[in-house]
Structure 1
Amino acid sequence: MTTTDRFTDARRLPLLVRTPTQNVVRELLGATDGRTGVLRVVGDPGGEFRVRSGQIVAVHSAGAPGVFELLARPGRALTGDAELRAVTMMAAVDGAFAIAAGSIDTCFWAEISNGAPTEVAGVEPGWLLAETERRLRALSPAKMSPHRNRLLLTELGETRLATAAAGPRQEILRQVDGQRSCRDIAFLLCRSLYAVTVEVSRLLAENFLLVPPPDFDRAGDDALPRDGTGMRALPRRRRGASGINDLLPLRPSSIRTRRKSEGMQ
């Protein structure tokens, strides 16, 4: 049994096999017969899977930093082709995670262009889908979208930012302003979306960060609680603006369904 064969059973990918996400899964698994082309995923943020001879050679999405952004990280210096291939692989896996963690409307095939400079040797669709499933499952307890949910420092977070030593967490906290999402911070720091989202989920669990409601006005929030929790007092919400849809576990859903839900609020 090959690696791909182990994931052709839909029951092994419960977070991914949902309409219309299952269409993307079906098309990628079906490409293992030697297909070449670009599977374009329409959604928010959407993206594309570049496939050569049944192998995925690149994944691009507006929801995650690509190879060039990752290479632009301060202090990073390439040591050779092996590291470039590793960064390219990281970008491909992160792009797949970004697509799956957003909303998916539909997908279609297009011809592949030649001469793309950032491609891996090729990975099996089954392996990439399984890795994407693993990442979604690992972050689902956080009930936070890396694309839509904005982040806000708590009182504890502000204290940590002012007193803790420099490090990856401090980099993230420094970028939090009540308006930025994990995606925004990932691009600012030239770090992978998944790595930033994992760290943010930990900071949320430790009460250094919180996810404010969608109508949060950063400039109008000056009150801090005095109960020792370190959590900021949130502004009063408008009727119907609870933001409950933004706090549900990560799951792909159609744009049409999401827009209908927003229109009912």
Structure 2
Amino acid sequence: MNKKSFFILVIFISIFSFFSCQYIPFKNQKINDLEKYDGSYSISFICGEICMANAIIEIKDGKIDGEVKNIKQQSFLVIGYVEEKGNLQLQSISENSDESIEAYGMVRSDGTVTGSYSVENRKCNLYGFCFTKNKNEIVTQYDGLYQLELIRDGNKIENFKIRIQNGEFHTNIPTKTNELYKINGKISKNGNIILNTLFSNKDKGLTVVGSIQKDGSVKGNYYTNSGKKGAFSGNKLP
């Protein structure tokens, strides 16, 4: 190799090394921005008065993998991604296009998820939350013991208590038929409450969406996979 060729090679390596060193931190920063969304999420798909499906998804470095189960007891894989600002896109993998779901939403810093999807030209909603320990913003202003009840057609169906700690809660709801709804939930920083069944009980399809007011009162609606929509209310106990 002559001196001219060697000199050109040295310049090329120097320029390549410079831009490589500049690019790597930028790339790592993007990964770090996505890591705050890492965790396991429980998602409910609500359309009209019915909880159409429940899903458990895993977010890792912005990539989404999981499983959704619909009211027909059919299970499908779910893939998708989350962007740096929390924008989320989900798509179920199904051979039948009539059963597939393509959803869009937002993952917030407190670990709650809201979004929408379409079924037969109807706009439907999705609600969810992260139920594993991750880098979520901790919400404590709604912590305490609450007495809650489910009401349908003016009749009280179930009543139970939840203890919210660090914006989260886990409990079992006994039914009149001696079944247990094993549920958990999360409170967003603006007081929105999302509650649904855990993955092991997803076939029961119970989802509650509401809000906690400044006076400690709780209001919202609940949905089941059998189309039994009702009211959800309660109060914070002293």
| TM-score for both structures, normalised by structure 1 | 0.25
Compare relative contact order (CA 8 Å, sep 6+) and give the higher one, 1 or 2: 1
Q: Give the helix-richer structure, 1 or 2.
A: 1
Structure showing greater radius of gyration is 2
